[in-house]
Amino acid sequence: MIDLHTHSFLSDGELIPSELIRRAEFIGYKAIAITDHVDSSNIDYVVPKIVRALKKIKEFISIEAIPGAEITHVPPGIIPEIVKEARNLGAKIVVVHGETIVEPVAAGTNRAAIEAFADILAHPGLISEEDLLLAKEKGVTLEITSRKGHSLSNGYVAKEAIRFGVPLCINTDAHSPSDLITKDFAINILLASGIEKNRIASVFENSKAIVEKSLTRE
């Protein structure tokens, strides 16, 4: 399992990064990104803390642990600025909290995330055809999620992404250890989202490609 959207106690998760990583390692994860919620109020604190914590344990763990950030409920007009700042602070994977149908995310967030070249647009809700085509053009990956509530639009996201050839990944948006999942369970979520068996391997390959790209960033 590769999971590129998780939260520690540095935002609203339950665990310190080291325990979250250990829990993931124990159930067989190959890679995990710690992507705590950030905006301009906390980004200069959270991202360096994640970077430091992961650097300290790197040689003692058997999975790839990647520092990241989830830009959350940021006005669309400043999303590009915050994406750039997150990368400059050391976030190797940048996720943007998309226009999920269960929260009042500002209209235009999906488009701003794509235009800013976020790595992953999380739970993008009823993403428009125009934004799907832009995501394909810019190589931004859309998320299928196991997270309660956000997962309500998985079927729509999967169907439309496949129709337009937009890359998909699967993440947990984990906030507690019980949110982490096995690869077998991830496969069931993908199947339940309407993704055919012969397409599932490509979803995991997309996650692997994001990890590989993250490792090349300075």
Q: What is the CATH number of the domain that holds 75?
A: 3.20.20.140
Give the pLDDT confidence score for residue 105 in this predicted structure.
98
Residue 93 φ then ψ, to 5°: -130, 125
Overall domain count for the chain = 1
Question: How many Cβ atoms from other residues are within 10 Å of residue 202's Cβ?
Answer: 12
pLDDT (tens digit per residue) in 175-202? 999 999 999 999 999 999 999 999 999 9
Q: Are 93 and 111 in contact (CB under 8 A)?
A: no
Distances 89 to 16, 45, 206 between C-alpha atoms, Å: 20, 9, 25
| Domain limits for position 88 | 2-215
pLDDT (tens digit per residue) in 86-142? 999 999 999 999 999 999 999 999 999 999 999 999 999 999 999 999 999 999 999
Cα separation, 61 vs 45, in Å, equals 24
Cα separation, 42 vs 150, in Å, equals 24
| SS3 (DSSP) at 139 | coil
Strand-pairing partners, residue 143, are 169
To which residue do tokens 């125009």 refer? 130
State which amino acid sits at residue 145: T
Q: Which of 56, 57, 81 is nearest to 71 (CA)?
A: 81
Give the pLDDT confidence score for residue 90 in this predicted structure.
98
pTM of the model: 0.97
pLDDT (tens digit per residue) in 9-33? 999 999 999 999 999 999 999 999 9
Average pLDDT on 206-218 reads: 94
To which residue do tokens 């639009």 refer? 153
Cα separation, 103 vs 183, in Å, equals 28
Does the pLDDT at position 171 exceed 90? yes
CB-hemisphere CA count at 13 Å for 34?
Answer: 34
Does the pLDDT at position 218 exceed 80? no
